[in-house]
Amino acid sequence: MLHIWGRLSSINVRKVVWAAQELGLDFQRTEAGGLFGLVKEPAYIALNPNSLVPVIQDEDFVLWESNVIVRYLCAKHSPGQMYPADLRERFDAERWMDWQQTTLNPASRPGFIQLVRTPAGQRDDAVLSESNAAVEKLMERLDSHLAHRSFMVGERFSMADIPVACEVHRWFGLPQTRTARPHVERWYQTLLARPASRGVLDQALS
């Protein structure tokens, strides 16, 4: 059985849980990180020396880094579907997964920290404003991309939709106004309707 370590309040754990559910995998999840601790214990560090979540163990194979885990699970259980067979399509998916991790997440995370995990009286308005301005530009880019396709890499749901949608879920959940992005919103509603996204995209931020 697949074993996942990590708390669902983590965007990175949500990616992995959604992928496992989308693939119909039988898995066990152990709460770890944040208030649950565990990540500093020697047994956990032996699994992930970075002391971060998530980590998976698939039989005798241990893997960390959320987007890599999503790729691995999709390659193993959905080759040619969620893990595209066509080389260009596959690396288009890879590109958007990396964009989420290296561009969108660093822009959005400071705003999330300010609005969700920082008491109101201690928030830094300058940090929040800078984060929001950066994310709005990226959402404009994403909206333009989705104007001409149903999913991130075309007309079929793939591994690329999972991390980007988890990031958009966090952006949409922040208690603030934002510019309407009709193509992003249409795409996101399509993903919300997928049964496998339940327990992930319908969770409140924390």
Instruction: Please write the tens of the pLDDT for every residue from 132-183.
Output: 999 999 999 999 999 999 999 999 999 999 999 999 999 999 999 999 999 9
User: Is there a domain that residue 206 lies in?
Assistant: no
Domain count, the chain: 2
**Of 77, 101, 118, the domain-final residue:** 77
Query: How sure is the predictor about 17, in pLDDT bands with cuts at 50, 70 and 90?
Result: very high
Alpha carbon distance 185, 191 (integer Å): 10
Alpha carbon distance 117, 199 (integer Å): 21
In a shared domain, residues 72 and 173: no
Alpha carbon distance 127, 125 (integer Å): 5
In a shared domain, residues 186 and 160: yes
pLDDT per residue as tens digits for the range 71-97:
999 999 999 999 999 999 999 999 999
**Of 44, 77, 110, the domain-final residue:** 77
Q: What is the domain-level CATH number for residue 145? A: 1.20.1050.10
User: Is there a domain that residue 32 lies in?
Assistant: yes
Q: Confirm if 54 and 64 have CB atoms less than 8 A apart.
A: yes
State the pTM of this model. 0.97
DSSP class of residue 103?
I
Long-range contacts for 173-176 (Cβ within 8 Å, ≥24 apart)?
173/204, 173/205, 174/111, 174/112, 174/115, 174/116, 174/205, 175/115, 176/115, 176/132
pLDDT at 40 over 90: yes
In a shared domain, residues 114 and 67: no
When the pLDDT of each residue in the chain is averaged and rounded to a whole number, the result is: 97
Query: How sure is the predictor about 67, in pLDDT bands with cuts at 50, 70 and 90?
Result: very high
**Of 77, 98, 131, the domain-final residue:** 77
- pLDDT at res. 14: 98
Query: How far separated are the first and last CA of the chain, in Å rounded?
Result: 28
- pLDDT at res. 206: 86
Paired strand residues for 83: 79
In a shared domain, residues 135 and 106: yes
Residue whose C-alpha is closest to residue 114's, from 97, 96, 130: 130
Strands 2-5 and 61-64: unpaired
User: Is there a domain that residue 140 lies in?
Assistant: yes
Q: Which domain holds residue 12?
A: 2-77
Q: Confirm if 14 and 203 have CB atoms less than 8 A apart.
A: yes
- pLDDT at res. 124: 97
- pLDDT at res. 193: 97
Q: What is the domain-level CATH number for residue 23? A: 3.40.30.10
For the chain, what percent of residues have pLDDT higher than 90?
Answer: 99
